[in-house]
Amino acid sequence: MVNFEDFIEIIKIKSYEELIEKLQGKSPNFRENYIFRGLGSSKYELIPSALRKDENGNYMINNYIDSKFCVYELTSAADHFRRCKIPYETYKKLNEEGKTILLNKNSKEMKDNTPAQCWVKSENEIQYKRELYVLLKFLNWADKSGLKISTTPTIRRLIHETIEFKPPKNKWPNLDFFEIISLAQHYGLPTQAMDWSYDYKSSLYFATNNILHNNTDDCVLWAFNYKLFENSYIPGHPHPYKLQFYRPEYNSNKNLMGQKGLFTFIISENYNFDRRPLDQIIIEDVINNIDPKAKIKNYVKLYGLNDFIIPHNEKIFYKFIIPGDLKHYILNELYLEGYSEENLFPGYSGVVQSIKNRVRLEEYVNELNKPTKKNFIMLFYEKEINNILNKKKRMIFKKFFTEEHFGNCFIYSKNNREILGYFKIDELIKNTPINMWNTFKRNSIMSKEDFFEYFEDIFQGYAIPIKDLNIFKYPIKLNLNLESEIQEITPEDQSLNFLLNF
Kindly report, as residue ranges, where domains of CATH 2.30.130.30 are found in the chain: 374-501
End-to-end CA separation in angstroms for the chain: 60
pLDDT for 30 equals 77
Give the pLDDT of residue 368: 82
User: Per residue of the chain (502 residues), what is the pLDDT tens digit?
Assistant: 667 888 899 999 999 999 998 888 776 677 788 999 999 999 999 999 999 988 788 889 989 988 888 777 655 544 554 445 555 455 445 544 445 677 778 777 777 666 777 777 778 888 888 899 899 899 888 888 888 877 778 788 888 767 888 888 888 998 888 888 988 888 889 999 999 999 999 999 999 999 999 999 999 999 999 888 776 555 555 555 688 888 887 766 777 777 888 999 999 888 889 999 999 998 888 877 766 665 555 555 544 445 566 777 778 999 999 999 999 999 999 999 999 999 888 888 889 999 999 999 999 998 888 777 788 899 888 888 888 887 778 899 988 766 677 889 999 998 889 999 999 988 888 899 999 999 999 999 999 999 998 888 888 889 999 889 999 999 999 888 777 788 888 888 888 888 888 8
The pLDDT assigned to 324 comes to 94
With a CB cutoff of 8 Å and minimum separation 6, the contacts of 263 are 178, 181, 182, 185, 193, 194, 195, 196, 245, 246, 247, 248
d(CA 16, CA 327): 9
pTM across the whole model: 0.72
**What is the predicted pLDDT for the residue at 448?**
92
β-sheet bridge partners, residue 244 = 265
d(CA 174, CA 343): 32
pLDDT in the model for residue 331: 95
What is the structure's pLDDT at 57?
Answer: 81
Fold entry, domain 374-501:
2.30.130
pLDDT given at position 309: 67
374-380 vs 486-488, strand pairing mode:
antiparallel
Per-residue pLDDT, 239: 57
Region for 340 from its dihedrals, namely left if φ exceeds 0, alpha if ψ lies in -120 to 50, beta otherwise: beta
Three-state DSSP class for 176? Answer: helix
In 391-466, beta strands by DSSP E: 395-398, 406-413, 418-424, 429-431, 461-465
**pLDDT score, position 414:** 86
